[in-house]
Amino acid sequence: MKSKRNKTITVTKEDLSSFPVFEIKNEGLRINNLENNIFFGDSLEETNKLPNDIIDLIVTDPPYTIRKDFGKGTVSVKEKEFISWCENWIKQCHRILKSNGSIYICINWEASSIIESILKKHFTVRNRITWKRDKGRGAKRNWKNNMEDIWFATKGDNYTFNLDDVKVKKAVIAPYVDEKGKPKDWQEINGEKFRMTHPSNIWTDLTVPFWSMPENTEHPTQKPEKLIERIILASSNEGELVFDPFMGSGTTAVVAKKLKRKYLGFEIEKKFYILCQKRLQK
């Protein structure tokens, strides 16, 4: 029996047998039938059904079970399949993204270079964000892996970036003043001296969801809502459509809804599809 403090959202056997599942129907496919929906199915097949140029922002965390064989210096069959698969879904993302749209892809260090190389073929890569993902006890014969990359790319040069919405509060240690003695590029409120600074591409203020957090689920690679919130605030506006081809735990949709954006996505695993729907119902 779960502790009363355990807030983890789970999927029961009853959910698996009775929860309604929705799939895209080709007949009469219109954008207003797609918005604010998560559909059950394979992302590559389902994305092919979407019209061109309908998405404002793509935020996703694709499956990445790839390992390179560094010892022999060769590319394994598994890696070739992974590269081909990524080529296909990233190319589809380019097709459905608006000309002023952006894409963010979360990925581990082993597959990060693969994602970068494919993104460069279709998008303009703007940055690589690295965030501190501190979870688990660590490896016994290696450095503990507590970071992941997020690749930020755009379809064109006229893209959304709401800087003021993602500025970071930073304490001022040596405050400068102008010739009149007034604060220079900082402010003081209730004795606290600080400035709102431009955000960097190193994020160390995030916490991986755990059992006592209301956002926590049983999904193994769930991303923090705060992480997705930062991306959506920066690269979209209220009322715009945010797409995630690999919904997983549903964080992209949940955060988009909270921030008054529309959402759309796919999930191939029934258990996680139901998990997404349960979070949205909350």
pLDDT tens across 75-114, in order? 566 888 899 999 999 999 999 999 999 999 999 998 999 9
Residue 211 pLDDT: 86
Mean per-residue pLDDT, 3-10: 86
CATH topology of domain 13-160+201-281: Rossmann fold (3.40.50)
Residue 38 pLDDT: 95
Pairing outcome for strands 124-132 and 147-154: antiparallel
List, in sequence order, the alpha helices (H) in the chain.
13-18, 31-34, 43-47, 77-96, 109-122, 225-235, 251-258, 270-281
Phi, psi of 141 (to 5 degrees): -125, 30
What are 29-61's pLDDT values in tens digits? 677 789 999 999 999 999 999 999 999 999 999
CA distances from 124 to 5, 141, 154 (A): 45, 38, 5
Secondary structure (3-state) at 147: strand
Length of the chain: 282
What are 140-177's pLDDT values in tens digits? 899 888 899 999 999 999 999 999 999 998 888 767 66
Which is more confident, 186 or 281? 281
Residue 103 pLDDT: 98
Residue 72 pLDDT: 47
Please enumerate in sequence order all residues whose Cβ is within 8 A of that of 195, keeping only pairs 6 or more positions apart, or say none.
Answer: 169, 170, 172, 185, 186, 187
Checking if the pLDDT of 130 tops 50, the result is yes
Q: Where are the domains of the chain?
A: 13-160+201-281, 162-199
For residue 74, what pLDDT band results from cuts at 50, 70 and 90?
A: low
For residue 210, what pLDDT band results from cuts at 50, 70 and 90?
A: confident
Checking if the pLDDT of 28 tops 70, the result is no
Overall pTM surpassing 0.85 (yes/no): yes
For residue 70, what pLDDT band results from cuts at 50, 70 and 90?
A: very low
Residue 78 pLDDT: 81
Checking if the pLDDT of 255 tops 60, the result is yes
The mean pLDDT value of the chain amounts to 89
253, 224 Cβ separation under 8 angstroms = no
